[in-house]
C-alpha cells in the first residue's frame, strides 16, 4: 500500500478550496451576522467546511484504490457523509425544519450501519454484551447525536477543527497500538489532513466558518470511524468514545440541564461550557487549545490503556468522563443564560 501521497495532497486541496469557498461566500453574501446567540462580533463567511467534505469524498476512493479502506467502509463513509453534508448545505443556504433534518440524519446512520454490519458484541465491565438488533438502534442514535452535537459545539474559532484533528490523531495512535490493525488508520489520517488544511482559514481568527455541511460531515465521519474500529477490535471502539469525550460531555450535560428546565432542546443558545469559558477568558483560542490539550494529555492516555487491554473499555469511559462532567459543570454548561 503506497497511499502516503494522498494525505499532503488532501491537506493542500482543502487549504486552497477553503480559500475559494471564502471568496464565493463573500461574493454571494453567505455571512453569519452576529446576534445575541453568537460568539463572534463581526460578520463572517460560512460554508468553509465544504472543502473538507469535497476533499474527503474524492480522496477516500483514492485510498481504497491504494489498498485501504475496505469497500464496505468506503461506502459507509462516503454515502453517510455525502448525504449529511448535502442536507447541511441546503440548511446553510435556507432552512430545513428540524424534524426533517433529524429524519435525514437517521437515514444516513442507517446507511452506514447497513454497510458496517451494525454494532458488534462489546466487552463492558467484564461481560461480553451482544445487543443484536437493539445494537443497530442504539448505534443509530449514537451516530445522530454525535453529528448533531458536533454542530452544536462548532461555535467558536477553531474548536471543531482542533477537536477533529486531535481525535483523529488519537485514533491513528490507537490503531498503531493495536495488533489487530490493518489499513484502518488511513481514513482518520485523511480526515486529519483535510481538517488541517481548513484550519488555516478558521484559526486562530476565523476568516470563514465550517457551517452545518462541514460540521455534520465531520461528526458523522468520526462516528462511523468509531464503529468501524469496533469491528477491528472492540477495545478500539471504547478508545474512540473516550477520545470524543470533551465534545460529548459538554454537549450532553448542556442538553440535559436545558431539558430539565423545559427549554426547547433545538433552540439556538450560548450556554455550552466552552461558550461560557470563551466569555470568561474574553478570547476563543485559549478555550480551543484547552480542548485539544484535554484530548491529547488526558483522554488519549486513558484511551491508550484501553486499546492495550490494560483497562476495561466501559470503565475507561467512566474514568475519562467523570472529570469532564465536573469541568463542564464548573464552567456552567447548560446554566440559564442572563437575559
- Look at residue 339 in the predicted model and tell me its pLDDT: 46
Q: Give the whole-number percent of the chain exceeding pLDDT 70.
A: 96
pLDDT digits (tens, 9 = 90+) for 188-228: 999 999 999 999 999 999 999 999 999 999 999 999 999 99
Residue tagged 482518520 (cell numbers): 188
Asked if residue 42 has pLDDT above 90, the reply is no
pLDDT, mean over the chain: 92
Helix %, strand %, coil % of the chain (to 5): 70, 5, 25
pLDDT digits (tens, 9 = 90+) for 216-275: 999 999 999 999 999 999 999 999 999 999 999 999 999 999 999 888 777 778 899 999
- Look at residue 92 in the predicted model and tell me its pLDDT: 77
pLDDT digits (tens, 9 = 90+) for 99-138: 999 999 999 999 999 999 999 999 999 888 888 889 999 9
Q: Which residues are annotated as a binding site for Mg(2+)?
A: 151, 212
The cell for 273 is: 461550557
Residue tagged 488511513 (cell numbers): 186
Asked if residue 36 has pLDDT above 60, the reply is no
User: Between residues 250 and 38, which one has the greater pLDDT?
Assistant: 250
pLDDT digits (tens, 9 = 90+) for 132-145: 889 999 999 999 99
CA separation for the pair 282, 211 (Å, rounded): 23
The cell for 293 is: 490539550
CA 238-242-245 angle, to 5 degrees, is 140
Q: Which residues are annotated as a binding site?
A: 151, 212
Residues in the chain, total: 339
- Look at residue 338 in the predicted model and tell me its pLDDT: 60
Amino acid at each position: 500500500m503506497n497511499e502516503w501521497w494522498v494525505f499532503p495532497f488532501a491537506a493542500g486541496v482543502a487549504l486552497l478550496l477553503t480559500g475559494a469557498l471564502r471568496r464565493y461566500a463573500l461574493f454571494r453574501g453567505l455571512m453569519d451576522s452576529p446576534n445575541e446567540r453568537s460568539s463572534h462580533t463581526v460578520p463572517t463567511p460560512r460554508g468553509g467546511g465544504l472543502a473538507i467534505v469535497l476533499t474527503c469524498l474524492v480522496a477516500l476512493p483514492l485510498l481504497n484504490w491504494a489498498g485501504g479502506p475496505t469497500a464496505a467502509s468506503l461506502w459507509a463513509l462516503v454515502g453517510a457523509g455525502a448525504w449529511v453534508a448535502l442536507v447541511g448545505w441546503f440548511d446553510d443556504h435556507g432552512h430545513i425544519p428540524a424534524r426533517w433534518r433529524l429524519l435525514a440524519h437517521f437515514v444516513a446512520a442507517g446507511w452506514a450501519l447497513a454497510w458496517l454490519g451494525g454494532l458488534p458484541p462489546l466487552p463492558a465491565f467484564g461481560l461480553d454484551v451482544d445487543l443484536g438488533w437493539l445494537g443497530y438502534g442504539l448505534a443509530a442514535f449514537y451516530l445522530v447525536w454525535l453529528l448533531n452535537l458536533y454542530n452544536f459545539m462548532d461555535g467558536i474559532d477553531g474548536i471543531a477543527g482542533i477537536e477533529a484533528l486531535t481525535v483523529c490523531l488519537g485514533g491513528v495512535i490507537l490503531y498503531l497500538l493495536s495488533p489487530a490493525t490493518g489499513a484502518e488508520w488511513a481514513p482518520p489520517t485523511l480526515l486529519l489532513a483535510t481538517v488541517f488544511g481548513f484550519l488555516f482559514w478558521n484559526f486562530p481568527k476565523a476568516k470563514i466558518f465550517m457551517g452545518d455541511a462541514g460540521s455534520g460531515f465531520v461528526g458523522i465521519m468520526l462516528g462511523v470511524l468509531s464503529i468501524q474500529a469496533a469491528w477491528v477490535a472492540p477495545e478500539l471502539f471504547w478508545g474512540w468514545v473516550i477520545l470524543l469525550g470533551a465534545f460529548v460531555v459538554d454537549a450532553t450535560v448542556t442538553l440535559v440541564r436545558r431539558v430539565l428546565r423545559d427549554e426547547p432542546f433545538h433552540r439556538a443558545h450560548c450556554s455550552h461550557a466552552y461558550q461560557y469559558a470563551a466569555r470568561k477568558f474574553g478570547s476563543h483560542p485559549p478555550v480551543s487549545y484547552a480542548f485539544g490539550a484535554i484530548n491529547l494529555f488526558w483522554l488519549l492516555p486513558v484511551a491508550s490503556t484501553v486499546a492495550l487491554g490494560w483497562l476495561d473499555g466501559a470503565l475507561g469511559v467512566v474514568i475519562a468522563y467523570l472529570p469532564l462532567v465536573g469541568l463542564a459543570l464548573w464552567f456552567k454548561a447548560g446554566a440559564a443564560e442572563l437575559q
